[in-house]
Amino acid sequence: MAVVWRIRGEMVQYDIAVIGAGPAGLFCAIHAAAPGSRIIVLEKMDGPGKKLLLSGTGQCNITHIGEMRDFLARYGDHGKLVKPALFSFTNKALLAFFEERALPMQAEENGKVFPRSRQSADVLAVLLAECKTKGVNIHCGEPVTAVTRQTAGFELVTPRAVYRSTVLVITTGGSSYPKTGSTGDGVRFAQLLGQPVTETAPALTPLLIKNFPFAALAGISFEEMPFTVWRGGKKVGEYRGDVLFTHLGVSGPGILDASRHIQPDDLLKLSFVGTIKREEFTADLSRRVQENRTWNVSTILAGYPIPERLNRKLLKLSDIPDELKCNHFSAEQRTRLVTNCTEFPLIVTAPGGYAVAMVTRGGVALDGVNLKTMESKTIPRLYFAGEVLDIDGDTGGYNLQAAFSTGFLAAEGIRKRAEEKSRMAGE
Ligand SMILES: Cc1cc2nc3c(=O)[nH]c(=O)nc-3n(C[C@H](O)[C@H](O)[C@H](O)COP(=O)(O)OP(=O)(O)OC[C@H]3O[C@@H](n4cnc5c(N)ncnc54)[C@H](O)[C@@H]3O)c2cc1C
């Protein structure tokens, strides 16, 4: 295996070329490196791991502490397909990898795992230090602009050089958050090489809401909010999760996870009073109103765990003046208030686009890849790992775990192939 790198007349030999220095590419390079092997990682941006640095709002929710078998349901209907990768390098193995390199990890009560330092930069630093130890060359600011198949492997073109490689790993990520460098190049390269791909779309997206009434309350968040989704008058989904108001609509892990099932024009109904049902809330509100006839309705509403600013907004949207006394609270006003507290209706205009999507749905088709080695089924020595593949998980660390696990498995595939080759050469 050899990569020939020509630059200013110089020629350097590598064994493996990796496109993209995100978690999948770096992890693959680290584990594919064997003594004496030469590996190059080509990265388009001026530094590696730009998206990793942003992950978990800079704190890096690296994985989830749950049982691996429970991970599978977190990748939509592709869970079974990701299984070999996830089980070849589990969440526990990932934690051990970082802990052995002096980066302790910590699980939150909800199972999300972060580095104890809460710094994505520390995760990246471990990966880069390991690349250095293993002799992996990382060239930043070198976007690969073309990939072609040659008799002896692949040719990669960058603005600085042309590389020839026997083994190629594509780990260019998806198309979301393009400012981090992932702009869908890997899917285009795969397609040009003849690899099947599926349609891509933004996933884990905030939702844009028609005439969003809570824009002024952007930043308020709700823990474990129950909400339902309606289409053509029928309930099509029931969810519970953390929800955040933005300037244009709703976000937060609960919404992001549900977004894969939500379409434009769907109706969301949010409950601001937790799991208490409409009928129970009506009865409870009526009892409090009856028992406190001289109180303001706003004082009664303040008795529920609703943020104060939202409380005032809900009264306004229900046409209830601030000073309205309970003994003047009409049945219509009560019905409006109950609806707004338990089933606040919001119409989805659209899911957010790639600029705000956490991940990309679709990509390199899984049925074109040997999922036990991550090697193309039709193009020998071409490997894929990470978000460039048609894999997208829920929030909670599932996407980074998939990137690390598939990166690891691709490395295993590359090593096994190399061992097989040298065994055959020795026979
Ligand atoms: C804001 C945000 C927060 C997130 N938080 C979390 C979280 O807390 N937990 C979690 O599990 N997931 C999180 N994710 C998702 C997670 O970060 C990604 O799924 C993961 O980074 C994918 O890893 P990857 O290596 O496959 O791709 P990427 O991290 O996208 O890396 C791909 C790399 O390839 C490079 N590249 C692309 N094209 C070329 C080219 N032509 N030539 C050279 N280089 C190229 C890119 O510049 C990039 O550096 C988050 C995503 C976003 C956007």
391 Cβ contact partners less than 8 Å away, ≥ 6 residues apart: 75, 78, 81, 82, 363, 366, 402, 406
Protein residue whose Cα sits closest to atom 8 of ligand 1: 56
Structure-block tokens of residue 87: 């089980």
CATH for 278-345, options being 3.30.70, 1.10.3470, 1.10.8, 1.20.950: 1.10.8
Ligand 1 nearest atom to the CA of residue 24, by list position: 25
User: Whole-angstrom Cα distance, residue 330 to residue 338?
Assistant: 12
414 or 6, greater pLDDT = 414
For residue 377, give the DSSP letter: S
Q: How far is the CA of 174 from the centre of ligand 1 (A)?
A: 7
Instruction: Name the residue of 182, 242, 394, 409 to mutate for ligand 1: max ligand atoms within 8 A of Cβ.
Output: 182
Q: What is the mean pLDDT of residues 335-340?
A: 98
From the centroid of its chain, how far is CA 315?
36
Kindly provide the b/e burial profile for residues 293-329, where b requires at least 16 CB atoms within 10 angstroms of the residue's own CB.
eebbbbebbeebebeeebbbbbbeebebeeebebeeb
If you measure from the C-alpha of residue 176 to the centroid of ligand 1, how many angstroms do you get, rounded to a whole number?
Answer: 8
The answer, yes or no, to whether any atom of ligand 1 lies below 6 A from the CB of 128, is: no
Mutate to test the pocket of ligand 1, among 400, 401, 404, 408 (most ligand atoms within 8 A of CB): 400
Please indicate whether residue 90, judged by its CB atom, sits closer than 6 Å to ligand 1: no
Minimum CA distance residue for ligand 1 atom 14: 55
| pLDDT computed for residue 6 by the predictor | 53
Query: Taking the CA atoms of the chain, what radius of gyration do you get in angstroms?
Result: 26
Q: Which atom of ligand 1 is closest in space to residue 398's alpha carbon?
A: 11
Which residue has its alpha carbon closest to ligand 1 atom 51?
Answer: 358
Least confident of 178-182, 354-358, 383-387, 420-424: 420-424
Pocket test for ligand 1, best of 30, 55, 62 (most atoms within 8 A of CB): 55
**Residue located nearest, by CA, to atom 2 of ligand 1:** 55
Task: Compute the distance between CA of residue 8 and CA of residue 407 in angstroms, rounded to an integer.
Answer: 32
| Domain covering 3-202+358-426: architecture | 3-Layer(bba) Sandwich (3.50)
Segment 137-171, tens digit of pLDDT: 999 999 999 999 988 889 999 999 989 899 999 99
pLDDT digits (tens, 9 = 90+) for 289-305: 999 999 999 999 999 99
Tell me the C-alpha distance between 223 and 271, whole Å.
11
389 alpha carbon – ligand 1 mean position (Å):
12
Ligand 1: which residue has its CA nearest to atom 30?
173
Pairing between strand 234-245 and 63-64? unpaired
Amino acid letter for position 245:
F
Q: Is 361 in the pocket of ligand 1 (CB under 6 A)?
A: no
> Is residue 411 within 8 Å of 30, Cβ to Cβ?
yes
* Of 174, 180, 214, 201, the residue nearest 350 (C-alpha): 201
Q: Are 253 and 224 in contact (CB under 8 A)?
A: no
Per-residue pLDDT, 331: 95
In the chain, which residues fall in CATH 1.10.8?
278-345
Ligand 1 pocket, residue 400 CB under 6 Å: yes
The predicted model gives 33-48 an average pLDDT of 94
For ligand 1, whether the C-beta of 153 sits within 6 Å is: no
Model confidence, pTM: 0.90
Domain with CATH 3.50.50.60 in the chain: 3-202+358-426
pLDDT band at 13 (very low <50, low <70, confident <90, very high): low
